[in-house]
Structure 1
Amino acid sequence: MAQQGKKGRWGPWALAGALLLAGGAGAQTRTVNVGLQAGGTLSWVTYAIGYFGIDRDLGLKVNARTYASKDATRVALRSGDTQVVVDDFLEVTLLRSRGFPVTAVYPFSLLTGGVIVPAASDIRTVADLKGKTIGATSLTDKTLLLLRAYARAKAGFDPQTAAQVASVPSPTMDQFMGRGEIQAALPFWHHGARMVSTGKYRQLISTGDLLRGLGLKPNVPLLYLVARNDTDPETLRLFVKAVLLAEERMKQDGGYWDAMLKEGLYNLPDRAQLPALRTQWAAGLPKGWSAADLNNTLLLTRRMIEVAGPDVVGLNRLDTRAFDTRFRP
């Protein structure tokens, strides 16, 4: 009797409307499975999507899972365990050539960072790198390939043969440089920002200046959101929109960065380095996604292949069909 009385107070139309609203909200929610590389910055963004309630506002459920390495995210992408990951502009072509049904749907990060040297070093120009030992994460590191192209064009030598290139993990480059084992370093952008912010190191040349020196645009995307081709297109558009909304909020909200660090998504030993980290992160955000951006990437790839050869770069040409500009919000 009590239930009937309660139902009567709501009224049959109000109750039906409430049920319809609840069912509609559930039906509108879209789910996307996102693969995160341990230590990668996509985890910052997926965390921000939930932190700011963007997923709730858009009716999007983001299932994020962290994998130990980039190779592991590629395996997960191929198996279907995940639908979206972040990978670089060369790798998306390589993935497709290996039978991975994937497409780059939106740029995630520009080619940023540069060459770092000790603040007191007598290395003043790229030409001074001749005969020095340079620390790089790998021989296929995009900044190293770009430096090789620039040095050959502007200084008449290839650092790969006229200098020594040592394989050094990015987080330890400051230690190697402090001991004098390397005289220059090409760290990941966030490690470079931290190194420069200490005052013990300076940037010899930025990737933007390297690109400009080669007659290329400085805003070339390096990393992309790469998705399986069988992912629902509307869900992808919604996820891209969520990423862009999250990045805008991240630029302005200091509380988010405190929460992100507390969550353990990034190891920042000295909190005084946070402003430099935020500035460098924001500088690496793409401003849009168009055929012109893809053409800049194509031109850069051609230059890298000319300098380093297809064996080092890993391909003979960039497959432009691997990139799709239709997923702009």
Structure 2
Amino acid sequence: MAKRLLCALLLFFSMLSLAWADGAPLRVAVLKFGTVNWELDTIKHHKLDAENGFSLQVQGMAGGSAAKVAFQGGEADVIVSDWLWVARQRAAGKDYVFIPYSKAVGGVLVGKDSPAQSLADLKGAKVGIAGGPLDKSWLILRAYAEQSAGLDLAQQTEQVYGAPPLIFKSAVSGDVDAAINFWHFMAKMEASGMRKLIDIADAAKALGLDPETPLLGYVVKGEMLRDNPDAIKGFAMASRAAKKILANDDTEWDRLRPRMNAKTDAQFDALKAGFRAGIPANRPIDKEAANRMLKLMVRLGGEKLLGQAKELPDGTFFMGGN
């Protein structure tokens, strides 16, 4: 009897030791085929989660809305969204916190034979837009066109809204005259021969915004940050370590290539370059610069985009280093 009890105790403490070694589980809900999976795969492959005191559990979701529902319902600990959404939620009383992931943004592309050389040339054009009328890139572009060319893109172009893959196909086939798409589709569009008319980062800079401000990031709940700070800090450190690998190691990209849906070498190279260009600097976010962007979005998108947020809410950004 005593021997069986001793064996049971040894087994219990052995299992407990393994659980401690693996670290606290962290459930990250992301799009099944989103580019963030490249970073999360790198974290798991190199055991950066265990090294930083947590166990990464990736939950593939069919869409961004499904991820948010899982997060808000307690079925996920981390999702990916933009900090403007986090600011909106904080203004509504929800304690969400943003950890920077990427500063990559899209751009406006036209066909290689398009006569358009500037935004002014898009007057009367059919423009495909991924993300809908409140897409942040579209709003920034509208503000820039108004400032630089006195052009009201919303009134002086025909907009066609659709999911990123649909806009990609419409642009490459020539069904639209110009297209605004997410950065990874933009990379594929350029690899297919399309020409960049303007980068959203350049438009943002011309508007007095800081293009170095990461728009996309991981979102966690303030409650978890308070209750399990080591896991969240460890996740931020693992994210930064994975970015360092992806920024410098070409062989890591060769390993990831089957996950990247790159049809050609040109697409593969463009996706790799685009991801690397989007890696944010390892420093705290400039809150004043972020507040300038928020105020511009309030002016252009109003309550439909930002709800009650009029100023950057305190605590929006994770300041523990990443």
Q: TM class by shorter-chain length? A: 0.7 to 0.9
Kindly provide the CA deviation profile for residues 66-89 of structure 1, in whole angstroms up to 9, marking residues without a partner as x: 111111111111111111111112
What are structure 2's unaligned runs of at least 5 residues?
Answer: 1-11
AA partner of residue 140 (structure 2) = L
Is 1:108 the counterpart of 2:104? The answer is no
AA partner of residue 317 (structure 1) = K
Equivalent pair of 2:78/2:220 in contact (CA under 8 Å): yes
Is 1:92 the counterpart of 2:124? The answer is no
Equivalent pair of 1:149/1:304 in contact (CA under 8 Å): no
Equivalent pair of 1:93/1:322 in contact (CA under 8 Å): no
CA distance in structure 2 between the aligned counterparts of 1:275 and 1:165, rounded to whole angstroms: 30
2:178 alignment partner in structure 1: 184
Runs (4+) off by over 6 Å? 19-23
1:227 alignment partner in structure 2: 220
Could you say if the C-alpha distance between residues 296 and 213 of structure 1 is closer, same or farther in structure 2, counting changes exceeding 3 Å?
Answer: same
What are structure 1's unaligned runs of at least 5 residues?
Answer: 1-18
Paired residue secondary structure (1:244): helix
Matches within 5 A, 1:180-219: 180-198=174-192, 200-219=193-212
Select which of 169, 178, 181 maps to 2:163. Answer: 169
Number of equivalenced pairs: 306
Kindly provide the CA deviation profile for residues 41-94 of structure 1, in whole angstroms up to 9, marking residues without a partner as x: 222111111112222333421111111111111111111111111111221123
Equivalent pair of 2:205/2:211 in contact (CA under 8 Å): yes
2:288 alignment partner in structure 1: 295
Paired residue secondary structure (1:220): coil
Task: State the 1:155 CA deviation.
Answer: 0.8
CA distance in structure 2 between the aligned counterparts of 1:178 and 1:236, rounded to whole angstroms: 41
With 90-99 and 142-151 compared, the bigger mean Cα shift is at: 90-99
CA distance in structure 1 between the aligned counterparts of 2:273 and 2:47, rounded to whole angstroms: 24
Is 1:253 the counterpart of 2:249? The answer is yes
Equivalent pair of 1:118/1:201 in contact (CA under 8 Å): yes
Paired residue secondary structure (1:258): helix
TM-score (norm 1): 0.85
CA distance in structure 2 between the aligned counterparts of 1:311 and 1:60, rounded to whole angstroms: 37
Select which of 222, 225, 237 maps to 2:233. Answer: 237
Equivalent pair of 1:92/1:322 in contact (CA under 8 Å): no
Select which of 143, 164, 168 maps to 2:137. Answer: 143
Paired residue secondary structure (1:328): coil
Equivalent pair of 1:60/1:239 in contact (CA under 8 Å): yes
AA partner of residue 301 (structure 1) = L
1:36 alignment partner in structure 2: 30
Paired residue secondary structure (1:177): helix
Kindly provide the CA deviation profile for residues 162-189 of structure 1, in whole angstroms up to 9, marking residues without a partner as x: 1111113222334323443211101110
Equivalent pair of 2:257/2:268 in contact (CA under 8 Å): no
Is 1:46 the counterpart of 2:67? The answer is no
CA distance in structure 2 between the aligned counterparts of 1:322 and 1:38, rounded to whole angstroms: 29
CA distance in structure 2 between the aligned counterparts of 1:308 and 1:55, rounded to whole angstroms: 38
Is 1:156 the counterpart of 2:150? The answer is yes
TM-score (norm 2): 0.87
